[in-house]
């Protein structure tokens, strides 16, 4: 069941803290950007409220494409979020920065056709290919 949860999280070293409200729907991204960024798939939850950051001066924001950026703690390297630059509310936050999450449901995997063959998640999720993601999020007029 879709639910929202008030959460607080932090990077590995504690220099950055995040407070927000997330949806309880966990997604995985298998795209090449995420693979290079994190060494594996990105597991993230989406904020439904603009996140509040403490220690913002310790965040490095990397512009990974024309339309999106990725942020990490410049002290410890923990990945904090991916977001579309046009998006003010919806951040895809690394699920690992939050502890003791309850009732999270792993619901979707995107760029499933880009997933390396050396791992597979066995959870039953909605899976979208790169073409399906582009149709959904970057529709042509």
Q: Which residues bind Zn ion (CB under 5 A)?
A: 11, 13, 15, 29, 31, 34, 73, 75-76
Q: Which CB sits closer to Zn ion, 15 or 21?
A: 15
As measured in angstroms, the least distance from the Cβ of 56 to Zn ion is 12
CB closer to Zn ion out of 4 and 14: 14
With a CB cutoff of 8 Å and minimum separation 6, the contacts of 45 are: 22, 23, 24, 25, 26, 27, 92, 93, 95, 98, 101, 104
Residue 3 or 40 having the CB closest to Zn ion? 40
**What is d(CA 138, CA 119) in angstroms, rounded to the nearest whole number?**
28
Is the alpha carbon torsion for 60, 64, 65, 70 positive or negative?
negative
Q: How far is the CB of 50 from Zn ion (least distance, A)?
A: 21
> From CA 11, how far away is CA 60, in angstroms rounded?
13
Measured from the CB atom, is 7 or 112 closer to Zn ion? 112
Extract the runs of DSSP E, i.e. beta strands, from the chain: 4-10, 17-29, 42-47, 52-54, 59-63, 68-73, 79-84, 92-94, 105-110, 126-128
CB of 1 to Zn ion, least distance (A): 26
Is 29 or 45 the residue whose CB approaches Zn ion more closely?
29
CB of 101 to Zn ion, least distance (A): 19
Provide, rounded to whole angstroms, the least separation between the CB of residue 8 and Zn ion. 15
């Amino acid at each position: 069941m879709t639910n929202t949860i008030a959460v607080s999280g932090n990077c590995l070293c504690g220099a950055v803290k995040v407070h927000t409200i997330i949806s309880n729907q966990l997604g995985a991204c298998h795209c090449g950007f995420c693979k290079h960024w994190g060494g594996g798939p990105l597991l993230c939850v989406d904020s439904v409220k603009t996140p509040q950051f403490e220690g913002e001066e310790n965040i490095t924001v990397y512009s990974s494409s024309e339309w999106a950026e990725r942020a990490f703690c410049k002290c410890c390297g923990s990945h904090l979020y991916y977001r579309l630059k046009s998006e003010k509310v919806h951040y895809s936050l690394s699920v690992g920065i939050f502890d003791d999450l309850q009732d999270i449901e792993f619901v979707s995997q995107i760029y499933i056709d880009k997933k390396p063959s050396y791992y597979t998640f066995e959870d039953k999720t909605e899976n979208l290919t790169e073409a399906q993601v582009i149709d959904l999020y970057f529709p042509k007029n």
